A and B are shown apart, each in its own frame.
Chain A
């Protein structure tokens, strides 16, 4: 029971990270109907920028953790979102009216480029970081097993929930959110009623990159090691999460992320660590067979 609870907490924290990345996929997919293949790389860049920011802050002597965290959070969101913007500008905008596969290839190209770019600039070796947020609450002693809820996990869940709330507000209440929802329904019509479609799409990429960068920061805090290759695996898992939850649906992405995180945690705990990714994909395939639009997705109506 204690073990179960512990895995539940671990899985939730992991799932939050996947969920944040998945939102970026699902939003872009919802609007332009394309897989943003380089989104995982944006997440990786977010992690690297956070790492650099932490070291730089340490060097100039800002040691008080909440302040440092806040600065790192803002810095990484800001700088990573520029990458998101540039990605859209280079790989997607020129191909807006081209076959969809073309944009997929440019996105894969950008993904290869960004991976090697980071490898070249920061070196190929795994970068370890000292744990920044330590300690936690032991709130459940069952026999010999103590269930620990670390401050880090609390922080992850807290930030994610906060971001989710803010994000939902943006989507539901602001002009940008309205424009996004309009674009999601019909790009051409949205343009006709005076919505700047290019700007909306660019801002969608920026928002997605912001969330992915926060996920990168959390990944860095949670695991303490990063390398230039983390974006790929996290990216496909997050995309899996987006598909699982129903692509195009933001709550679906969060739900899918949580599910993937939980599946991973429980599968590693009770079955085998090696095959956790196999379990994730197998469940994805099963869900798609029985519910092709994902858990919260709307069925797409086929028009002739």
Chain B
């Protein structure tokens, strides 16, 4: 299995050069205005700064990169491996040794690091090809391979799920876990819960909801306002917040759910903005942009997680006779998030098997057929919308109690987009895919918080790259319920994709 077994096609140099040149030209056109010039904020000095060297650098990198990819496609892996590796090592070494930024490609470590990373990826790909002497597989083959893999994962989900759960439960007691990591884990768990909630609407019922954050906001503000004005506790307010959010869902859904596809998307997007604007401007009620602070923390069966017990009562640590440790509260919140997420998951798994869950999935596939079978489209969709909203509301009140402070700034469209991205990237309707996508999209960027500037940039790129690579989501796999012809006699998976 060495490279000689693969027929070497002649490498079409003129064509590759022309192609790479065109890519470089496009990159120059893209970069010339926005990268080449920079509007200066300070008054007095020159109004523009110039960075034409950066433009040249980007174009050069685009040219080389394109050439390298073309060479890989034509089975010329060895030269690419050598070139990319030398480039990557040199750049990484320069970065690590702290070379003068002016001497490198760009004046920022982040961009140089990105370039180095891209070079490493290219050389890894080349190394893979050299090692396996395999031709670049076609898109269909790759897709089929990935499908098999995700089917495998879902077949394993019988024990992967409990395993992950066990890991999640044990997480706070692992030796290398500190407070920061635990906070990130809590955040990831919150998004997993929101993802599962939205999955009911988008994945099961097939309704594109771009304003999920509205229900999240309704839940958060319901809890905060109830707790602040009526002095109610978290556990009492949680169902209320869910009901309020579900009610908001019905209120919005009732008139608009007969719209189809993208109309629904734009209306939900508009609704999300409406809610945010009202929260921002209704000063008397919501305290406007200043937000609400001093939102009470949840209690552990009535025992507050504070250092000093309230008069005549106990706090958590005094009741159990423990030393007071601030981390206790963090761990408690983490478990709370896990518990809420689990409730969402169990609910989804069970309701999928009920007639209503079946009706959602059927509606997603074919509305006309459903209608002829006596399923009422609007009412069925409305239940999905309301239940999804309810879980959004739960998530919102958890968010409020965890932060202790909420303001309309936390409920922008970006949140909706992130939650939707988690659902779609995970593979629509796949429960474990949501977990995977939430860890990828929320956990990883949080770990790299220090690269703050580039975080959202990379986030956007990741969304594009993952989606292009796996258009149906990371773990998209649907077993057909009925097979035509002589498919492989695999066991059928009627059950939930846990």
Question: CB within 8 Å of B: which residues of A?
Answer: 29, 33-35, 45, 48-49, 51-53, 55-56, 58-59, 75, 78-79, 82-83, 85-86, 90-91, 94-95, 98-102, 104-106, 108-118, 120-123, 125, 127, 232, 236, 239-240, 243, 247, 274-275, 277-278, 280-282, 284-285, 288-289, 292, 302, 304
Q: Beyond A56-B48, A125-B41, A236-B270, is A102–B457 a contact (Cβ under 8 Å)?
A: no
Question: CB within 8 Å of A: which residues of B?
Answer: 26, 29-30, 32-35, 37-39, 41, 46-48, 202, 208, 255-256, 258-259, 261-263, 265-267, 269-271, 273-274, 277-278, 280-281, 368-369, 413-414, 417, 420-421, 424-425, 428, 453-454, 456-457, 459-464, 467-468, 471-472
User: Is the CB–CB distance between A86 and B277 below 8 Å?
Assistant: no
User: Is the CB–CB distance between A278 and B33 below 8 Å?
Assistant: no
Q: Beyond A59-B48, A108-B421, is A52–B270 a contact (Cβ under 8 Å)?
A: no
Closest to B36 in A: A52
Closest to B269 in A: A236
User: Is the CB–CB distance between A288 and B263 below 8 Å?
Assistant: yes
How far, in whole Å, are A111 and B39 apart by their CA atoms in the complex?
A: 22
Closest to B252 in A: A285
User: Is the CB–CB distance between B267 and A284 below 8 Å?
Assistant: yes
User: Is the CB–CB distance between A105 and B453 below 8 Å?
Assistant: no
B contact residues around A278 at 8 Å (CB) = 274, 277-278
Q: Beyond A49-B33, A52-B39, A112-B456, is A106–B428 a contact (Cβ under 8 Å)?
A: no
User: Is the CB–CB distance between B38 and A121 below 8 Å?
Assistant: yes
Per a CB cutoff under 8 Å, which of A106, A114, A120, A284 touches B266? A284
B contact residues around A285 at 8 Å (CB) = 255-256, 267, 270-271
Tell me, rounded to whole Å, the shortest Cβ–Cβ distance linking B496 to chain A.
21
B contact residues around A78 at 8 Å (CB) = 29
Q: Beyond A99-B472, A111-B460, A285-B270, is A274–B277 a contact (Cβ under 8 Å)?
A: yes
User: Is the CB–CB distance between B468 and A95 below 8 Å?
Assistant: yes
User: Is the CB–CB distance between A98 and B460 below 8 Å?
Assistant: no
User: Is the CB–CB distance between B417 and A108 below 8 Å?
Assistant: yes
Interface centre among B421, B424, B425, B471 (most CB of A within 10 A): B471
User: Is the CB–CB distance between B460 and A109 below 8 Å?
Assistant: yes
A contact residues around B266 at 8 Å (CB) = 35, 236, 239-240, 243, 284
A contact residues around B428 at 8 Å (CB) = 99, 101
User: Is the CB–CB distance between A35 and B262 below 8 Å?
Assistant: yes
B contact residues around A116 at 8 Å (CB) = 456-457, 460
Q: Beyond A112-B414, A288-B263, is A99–B464 a contact (Cβ under 8 Å)?
A: no
Q: Beyond A95-B471, A277-B277, is A101–B256 a contact (Cβ under 8 Å)?
A: no
How far, in whole Å, are A49 and B29 apart by their CA atoms in the complex?
A: 12
Tell me, rounded to whole Å, the shortest Cβ–Cβ distance linking B54 to chain A.
9
User: Is the CB–CB distance between A45 and B208 below 8 Å?
Assistant: no
How far, in whole Å, are A179 and B414 apart by their CA atoms in the complex?
A: 36
Tell me, rounded to whole Å, the shortest Cβ–Cβ distance linking A35 to chain B.
6
User: Is the CB–CB distance between A105 and B420 below 8 Å?
Assistant: yes
User: Is the CB–CB distance between B457 and A82 below 8 Å?
Assistant: no
User: Is the CB–CB distance between B30 and A86 below 8 Å?
Assistant: yes
How far, in whole Å, are A284 and B417 apart by their CA atoms in the complex?
A: 21
User: Is the CB–CB distance between A82 and B26 below 8 Å?
Assistant: yes
Q: Beyond A49-B34, A278-B274, is A292–B464 a contact (Cβ under 8 Å)?
A: no
User: Is the CB–CB distance between B464 and A91 below 8 Å?
Assistant: yes
Q: List 30 A-B contacts (CB under 8 A).
A: A33-B262, A48-B39, A53-B33, A59-B46, A78-B29, A79-B30, A99-B472, A101-B424, A105-B463, A106-B463, A106-B464, A108-B417, A109-B461, A110-B464, A112-B414, A112-B460, A113-B460, A113-B461, A117-B34, A118-B34, A236-B413, A240-B266, A240-B270, A274-B277, A281-B274, A284-B270, A285-B270, A285-B271, A288-B267, A289-B256
Tell me, rounded to whole Å, the shortest Cβ–Cβ distance linking A267 to chain B.
12
User: Is the CB–CB distance between B421 and A113 below 8 Å?
Assistant: no
How far, in whole Å, are A5 and B207 apart by their CA atoms in the complex?
A: 43
Q: Beyond A122-B38, A278-B274, is A55–B48 a contact (Cβ under 8 Å)?
A: yes
Tell me, rounded to whole Å, the shortest Cβ–Cβ distance linking A87 to chain B.
10
User: Is the CB–CB distance between A98 and B457 below 8 Å?
Assistant: no
A contact residues around B202 at 8 Å (CB) = 101
Per a CB cutoff under 8 Å, which of B34, B38, B262, B413 touches A232? B413
B contact residues around A282 at 8 Å (CB) = 274
Closest to B262 in A: A35
Tell me, rounded to whole Å, the shortest Cβ–Cβ distance linking A298 to chain B.
14
Interface centre among A55, A59, A102 (most CB of B within 10 A): A102
B contact residues around A118 at 8 Å (CB) = 34
Per a CB cutoff under 8 Å, which of B26, B256, B270, B417 touches A112? B417
Per a CB cutoff under 8 Å, which of A35, A79, A106, A110 touches B265? A35
14 new A-B contacts, CB < 8 A, other than A123-B39, A278-B277, are A35-B262, A52-B37, A79-B30, A79-B33, A82-B29, A95-B468, A100-B261, A106-B463, A106-B467, A109-B421, A112-B414, A236-B269, A236-B273, A282-B274
How far, in whole Å, are A33 and B277 apart by their CA atoms in the complex?
A: 29
A contact residues around B26 at 8 Å (CB) = 82, 85-86
Tell me, rounded to whole Å, the shortest Cβ–Cβ distance linking B11 to chain A.
24
User: Is the CB–CB distance between A102 and B47 below 8 Å?
Assistant: no
Q: Beyond A56-B48, A274-B277, A281-B271, is A109–B263 a contact (Cβ under 8 Å)?
A: no
User: Is the CB–CB distance between A109 and B259 below 8 Å?
Assistant: no
How far, in whole Å, are A79 and B33 apart by their CA atoms in the complex?
A: 8
Q: Beyond A45-B34, A109-B462, A285-B270, is A123–B41 a contact (Cβ under 8 Å)?
A: yes
